[in-house]
Amino acid sequence: MQHLIGWFLLIASIAGHTEWWVVIVNRSHALRIRSTSLRKFRTLHDLAVLSYPVILLWLTGIGPKSLWRGGRFSEQSSFLQCLLIVTITGCIPLILGMVRWHWIRHPQFKHSNSTTRHDVLGQASTEEERTAVRGPRRHLSQLWPWNEIFHLEVNTKAVRVNSSAGNGNTTRAPLRLAHISDLHFIGCPGLGYYQFLVSQLTELQPDVILFTGDLIDEMELLPEAIDILRPLLSVAPCYFILGNHDWKYEHEQIRSQFAASGWRCVTGRSEILRVGEYQILLAGSEQPWIGPAPPVVRDAGCDLRVLLSHSPDQHLLAKRFGYDLMLSGHTHGGQVVLPLFGPIYSPSLFGVSYVSGLFHQGRLTMHVSRGVGAKDPMRWRCCPELTCLEVTCGN
């Protein structure tokens, strides 16, 4: 029995130590820190997580009093006892996160009114088309047979927004807002994949198209990215903000060229447009990376006040400033959703709490997209998504 207790303490220490590193990495990637520093920190994370089991076994020793040979906790050194206590407490947020995922967040993650999944690479009929979908960039993650990076989920989600400024007319047809995020043009997926995305978005026939940041990860692909998205201007009014990956490059050049194509940027400002029977206010926030805070719109007399925010962390500000609906990306849905554990990594001050899906914060409704691309082209049980929000407004 004492052997089992010792092994339990060691395993719990390893799990808790890993969780504390995950907590730190998630929060650090939500801050205005340059990617070079984040890469160094992520390398430190990798080394710490991989080396800790070896260090722990070295600290506990191989003698008869070592934990893995049946030694008691009280027989360990004071340093090892403190280390075990600190690391094992990391199991608390780990367990709470697992419970929250299975009972609350997973239904929000999966919720949609209609869903169609496409294997874009599998649907390509010629080798030329398959090459265009795969793109020129190669990555080790492509060897994973269940990688969903070349898949696309097109879904529709019904959203009822409690707008204090709405006229209460519930007979109007729902407002169709297409939400796309995190395209990450980098060479994998290839341009053929994004052309398929545009064709699916065109078929949705939305009233407005909204993009919430992270357009590119290779500056030389900016002209191709803009050319691929340009046809959407003939489908519906198109609005955008930038994200933290755009911030790494010449973001003002990205902004000006994207805007020159006809897409309208709403960062740090608001714009009112009329769509059918709806009067909509659109504003944007690229904080904490770029630009000013969005305007306060509490007194704006519109049917719907929408904030485009790359990070879901801005939801408290959006609520305070009077927005009814906030659209975000940045988290990629975690990219990898493990069985039992759920998503692990999410660059947010709130960890994986708002990793993807629909959330309600008082009068504010927030939709967090899983996004489309990724700098590291790996997705498992977290399919890229294109969403059409069918919004109705009430009082």
Query: How many domains in the chain?
Result: 2
Structural element, H or E, at residue 2: helix 2-28
- Whether residues 76 and 132 fall in one domain: no
Six token digits for residue 324: 């009814």
Distance between CA atoms of 34 and 306, rounded to whole angstroms? 29
- Tens digit of each residue's pLDDT (9 = 90 or more) over 149-193: 999 999 999 999 987 655 556 678 999 999 999 999 999 999 999
- Whether residues 194 and 316 fall in one domain: yes
- Tens digit of each residue's pLDDT (9 = 90 or more) over 240-296: 999 999 999 999 999 999 999 999 999 999 999 999 899 999 999 999 999 999 999
- Whether residues 36 and 144 fall in one domain: no
Distance between CA atoms of 308 and 312, rounded to whole angstroms? 10
- Whether residues 191 and 56 fall in one domain: no
- What's the pLDDT score for residue 139? 83
Residue 328: which CATH number?
A: 3.60.21.10
- The residue out of 89, 124, 148 marking a domain boundary is 89
- Tens digit of each residue's pLDDT (9 = 90 or more) over 194-236: 999 999 999 999 999 999 999 999 999 999 999 999 999 999 9
- Whether residues 51 and 121 fall in one domain: no
- Hey, which residues does 326 pair with through a beta bridge? 307, 366
Q: Calculate the alpha carbon distances from 47 to 20, 52, 111 in Å.
A: 14, 8, 37
In a domain, 103, yes or no: no
Crossing angle of helices 35-60 and 2-28, rounded to 10°:
170
In a domain, 11, yes or no: yes
pLDDT-derived band of residue 297, with 50, 70 and 90 as boundaries? very high
Distance between CA atoms of 285 and 241, rounded to whole angstroms? 7
In a domain, 101, yes or no: no
**Cβ contacts of 246 within 8 Å, gap of 6 or more:** 213, 214, 215, 216, 254, 255, 290
The mean pLDDT of the chain is 94
Six token digits for residue 382: 């977290």
Distance between CA atoms of 222 and 263, rounded to whole angstroms? 14
Determine the structural domain holding residue 339 and report its residue range: 113-394
In a domain, 384, yes or no: yes
In a domain, 94, yes or no: no
- Kindly report the pTM of this predicted structure: 0.94
Contact indicator for 321, 295 with CB cutoff of 8 Å? yes
- Whether residues 73 and 190 fall in one domain: no
Distance between CA atoms of 288 and 271, rounded to whole angstroms? 21
- What's the pLDDT score for residue 138? 86
Do the bridges between strand 270-275 and strand 264-265 make them parallel or antiparallel, or are there none, so unpaired?
unpaired
Distance between CA atoms of 245 and 218, rounded to whole angstroms? 10
Distance between CA atoms of 193 and 151, rounded to whole angstroms? 9
In a domain, 303, yes or no: yes
